[in-house]
Structures are given as C-alpha cells and as structure tokens.
Structure 1
Amino acid sequence: MVNPETRPEPPMTGSERDQLNGFLDFLRSAIVLKADGLTDEQARAVHVPTSGHTTIAGLVGHLTYVESYWFSVVLGGQEDPWRERFKEDPDAEFTAAASVPIAELVAAYEAECQTGREIVAKLDLDQVITFGRSREVSVRWVLMHMIEETGRHAGHLDLLRELTDGRTGE
C-alpha cells in the first residue's frame, strides 16, 4: 500500500522520461490509495445504477488489465492472456474483479505496474513498436496514454470512494 505521507510526487524538472514516469507513478499511487482500507463488499459496491461494472474493484481490475496490455502485450510482445475471455465477455476484466478480494486486486495491480516500469526502462521513448496486424505505436505514446487512462479512472475512483465511505482527498 502507498503511504500518503511518502507518496511519490512527479518531478517538476528533469528528463522527459523522468517526468512521464513520475506522473504515471503518481497516478498509480492514487489508484492504490483509493482502494486502501476497503472491505471486499465496499470495493464491490455499485453506486452508478447504469453500470454495474463501475465499482472500485472493477476499476482496479480494469487498470490491471490495461497495464498488462499496453506494457507486457504491446511493448513487451507477450500474448494477451485475456483475448479469449473478451470474446465471451467484453467486460471480462471488470466482471472477473467482482469475485477477487480487493487486497489481491491491488497486489496484482501493483505487480503489473512494476512489470510496466521494467519494460519501459529498457526502451527508448521514440521506439516504434508494431503490434496487432499492422498497428504502430511509440513508447512515448503508451506512457502518455497510460497517464490519461489512469488519471481518468483515478477521478472515477475519487467519486466512488466518497460515495462508499465519505473519504475524500488524494
């Protein structure tokens, strides 16, 4: 778990790589903080009536998947272990999270984040990766996309956490 007192702050100076990684790690820590101290029932609470998947557990499961997809699959060249599950259930990462204890979801998320850090550290930001049938993406784009994706869902988690137990703040 992330200690709010020692939470990583993104650097205000330094290289582009350091700043991109710093902002992503700052947002990753927000995800962990928003799940901290919840019971499994609280993490699975549905507060958005139009979407039973928009829960704290569901969003942590989703973010674990996108970390794995963009870093391990796209940049790392590994097979997507979720490919078949998505054929049957387009929301598989959300629905699978509903039956996993929140502590395990957070641990899996933190492990995927670490794997992503290790993969990106070996690559140049300008490196272009071909994935899928013929799509191309730069390492820089993946980092920027993950900042956007993680930031968007950190905002969702802010609201869900407040609705769950009233806790606000970073």
Structure 2
Amino acid sequence: MIRTEPAFDGEEREQLSGFLDFLREAVVLKCEGLTDEQARRSLVPSGLTTIAGLVGHLTYVEHYWFEVVLGGRANRWTARLEADRDADFREALTIPLADLVAGYRAQCGTSREIAARLEPATRVSYRDGLVNLRYVLIHLVEETGRHAGHLDLLRELTDGRTGE
C-alpha cells in the first residue's frame, strides 16, 4: 500500500482532510501482514497498548467525533465505556485483525461523509459550548498521528518492520 500524500498547496479543508487521510492510511499500513496473535501481543507494561487495541480505539475516536459530536447520532459505546473505560482497547483483542481494519476503514468512510456535509467553521453543541469541524479535523490529525507513532514502535518490536 502506498499512502496518498496530502496536497502541498490547497484550501484548508483539502489540507486538513489530506493529512488526516494520510495518517489513517498509515494506521492501515502498520497492520498489513500481521497475524491476529501479533496484533494482540502486549509489548508495554499497561498491557492495553497493542496494535489491535489502537485500531479499536481509533475506530471509536472516529465514531465519537464525527458521528456523535458532529452528526448528532447516538454513541454506540456509552454503556461499554461506562462499564470499562478501556473497552475500545480491550474489546479489540477479541476481534480478528482483518475485521478491525475493515471496521476502521468503514468508520473513516462514514467520518468523511459527515465532514463533507459541513463547512470547517460549522459549529455544533459540545459539552457546555460549541465545537467546529475545523477543531475536530485538527484533533483527529493529532490523535491519529500520535497513535500511528505508537503503531510504528509496536510494529518494529513485533517483527522488526520499520518505515512507512
């Protein structure tokens, strides 16, 4: 898989979405060729930060920010996260990696559809105030980039594979 480079010169939406898609593709790339066992292997003391767990978490993050916050839809994870605040990481350990990646890709597609209907400055109610699409895109670039870095390290520790 070759990642699509973000536009070097473009409008705000194009560049923010381009960088987010670039990082989303990095997440998928870091999972290529791994077995379910490798993806579930715990390589850090917490035991939660696994390749599978990170994909599960990023799938939830996409759902929450785009479907729930921007789209006004119900949060499918509320009960599970109230019972276990790490449910997105932990439940991913029971799902085949191919299914996790397919679910992540589908969720990213839903996120793109919701974002396409909004202008960057579109505001929606959030907590005790407002949030706009611009904030959500920037936040997802940060969150996805941070976890893509975790995936880089976990992948290298798993099988020695490095690079993009």
The two structures have a TM-score, normalised by structure 1, of 0.95
**Pairing 1:105–2:100 present:** yes
| Aligned-residue offset at 1:136 | 1.5
- The partner residue of 1:162 within 145, 152, 156 is 156
**Pairing 1:76–2:77 present:** no
Identity %: 62
Per-residue CA shift, 1:132-166, capped at 9, x if unaligned?
Answer: 4x332111000000000000000000000000000
Cross-structure match for 1:62: 57
- The partner residue of 2:86 within 91, 95, 102 is 91
| Aligned-residue offset at 1:33 | 0.3
| Aligned-residue offset at 1:131 | 3.0
- The partner residue of 1:153 within 147, 151, 155 is 147
| Aligned-residue offset at 1:86 | 1.0
| Aligned-residue offset at 1:87 | 1.2
- Cα separation, 1, equivalents of 2:23 and 2:156: 18
Gaps of 5+ in 1: none
CA RMSD of aligned residues (A): 0.7
SS in 1 for 2:94: coil
- The partner residue of 2:40 within 37, 44, 51 is 44
| Aligned-residue offset at 1:82 | 0.5
Per-residue CA shift, 1:75-134, capped at 9, x if unaligned?
Answer: 0100101001111100000010010000000000000100000000000100111034x3
- Cα separation, 2, equivalents of 1:87 and 1:29: 30
The two structures have a TM-score, normalised by structure 2, of 0.98
Gaps of 5+ in 2: none
- Cα separation, 1, equivalents of 2:81 and 2:113: 26
Cross-structure match for 1:135: 129
After TM superposition, which residue ranges in structure 1, 4 or more long, deviate above 3 angstroms?
none
